[in-house]
Amino acid sequence: MARVLVINAPFIKDFCRTQRWPSRTRARVLRPPEWLAYVTAVLENKSIDVRLYDFPANDWDKNKLGDIVREKRPDFVVFDSTTPSIYSDIDCCGIVKRVSNARTIMVGPHVSVFPYETLQLAEGSLDVVCIGEYDYTVYDVINNWRDLRKIKGIAYFDNGKFYKTEPREFIEDLDNLPFPAWKHLNLWRYYAGMRLYPFMNIIGGRGCPFRCTFCLWPQVMHGHKYRLRSAKNIVDEIEYDIKLFPPVKRGEIFFEDDTFTANKEHVYSICEEILRRNLKITWSVNARVDLIDMELFRLMKRAGCRALWLGIESGVQEVLANMKKGIKIDQIRHFVELSKKAGLHPHGCFVLGMPGETKETMQKTIDFAMELKLPSLQFSAAVPYPGTEYFKYCEEQNLLRAKQWSDWLEDGEQSSVVDYPGLSRGEINRAVDFALKKHYFRPTYMINFLLRTRSIYDLYRKLKGFKNFVSYLYFKKRVQTERYPSNK
């Protein structure tokens, strides 16, 4: 029987791979490696001896990686990949090769876009790349190692020649997938400031029918067809999660679908199934503001829904059009108003620095965000990731200022890598920080923040979030002072 290690690899402290813009976030969000947990579960289901290790969650370094590989003596090691971490990810493959005879496999968005380049950079330390949705591809590689040519969705070198097999079809029957192998992870270690603590992620469907130019996952990994799991299968997983990790009932379940509300009938069926089973749980979702249905909002609230994470992105219609968001400013206002009336918590996600942005439009978006009086929000700098339409645009217009993949972060932090005529990446990054401080450092917000505390776990979440954000601001100030010392 093959022995396999699935690794969320070490990189910089607090690096979160699974979010749409992998980085160390301003709030130091750390999400579980759900996609690796899926492939681990598939391998377990095939009776393969597999272990999943999350190095960032345990604050382990590359020395620990070498120690584990020596101890476990695996036949295969699977690594995830992201653009900012790719050089480090390749280095991890090299560590495996230096201390063992294991074969190395890499999955994830960066290698899906650049399989040849990555294999070439690895200089023999990486054996196989799995392209796109990889749950079953990894198993096929392990099970058919001596005949890779017949496996769909992979790339590799053989005797110095590059091979890339035909694309693998997306998984249509998601109900057949086993539930993620959460048992390998310490779920207390994951934290997101705007989610109740502790939380667990659930993926009710894959793919997104919308065409936002910057969104990585549908363009690179899961496609634009929204493939749904059945309501029964989803709620079965919720019950499984509660049994595995009972404290989640004090926190929440978060639906990580790109857009949970894209199929209204599906949302109805999930709510009805939760109510039918009389589950007393709290859950939140990613949503779009063009679904405005007061009856559905009320049903979601009755079924335990707490928050709707909204991709608002901008308060300027022209900028929204440039990113192909497909929503209107009036829809945003109406959605926020009605969702509040239904007792739901609208959380606004904004992005600064998309095509068409100026200093004036950034200020309009910040003013718009404050006008909405959202209970919570987040601002990010737009980052063009390989494989997206936004990345292609920035390349064609010669806007990218990052010269190598490691430049996709600034001192480990999420930041812009684009300079527009009349708008620099530094101005974009400063606008993001300004917007966050303007919202979260208001006295009224801070008072309500504490008064609405639900439990000791909720207080922990809030105090940690505040500490993380303040530490980020201190770090940025220190770095800027070191780079640009005062002349006084």
- Domains belonging to the chain, first-starting first, are 3-164 (3.40.50.2300), 192-446 (3.20.20.70)
Give pTM, 2 decimals.
Answer: 0.94
Helix axes 425-440, 456-483, angle to 10 degrees: 140
pLDDT digits (tens, 9 = 90+) for 323-378: 999 999 999 999 999 999 999 999 999 999 999 999 999 999 999 999 999 999 99
| pLDDT at residue 447 is higher than 80 | no
Burial class of residue 161 in the structure, from the number of CB atoms within 10 Å of its CB (0-12 exposed, 13-18 middle, 19+ buried):
exposed
DSSP conformation letters of 68-135:
HHHHH--SEEEE---TTTHHHHHHHHHHHHHH---EEEE-SHHHHH-HHHHHHHHTTS--EEE-S--H
Average pLDDT of the residues in 2-20:
94
pLDDT of 477 reads 56
Q: Residue for token digits 């380049």? A: 117
Cβ–Cβ < 8 Å for 132, 218: no
For residue 454, the model assigns a pLDDT of 73
What does the mean pLDDT of the chain come to?
A: 93
Residue 133 is predicted with a pLDDT of 98
Beta bridge partner(s), residue 286: 309
Per-residue pLDDT of 104-153, as tens digits, reads 999 999 999 999 999 999 999 999 999 999 999 999 999 999 999 999 99
For CA atoms 279, 18, 262, 365, the dihedral sign is positive
Higher-confidence residue: 114 or 458? Answer: 114
Q: Which DSSP string corresponds to 374-385? A: -SEEEEEE----
Tell me the C-alpha distance between 160 and 207, whole Å: 35
Residue 287: pLDDT over 90: yes
pLDDT tens by residue, 465-480: 767 777 777 655 544 4
Question: Which residues, in sequence order, are bridge partners of residue 3?
Answer: 49
Give Cα 82 to chain centroid, integer Å: 11
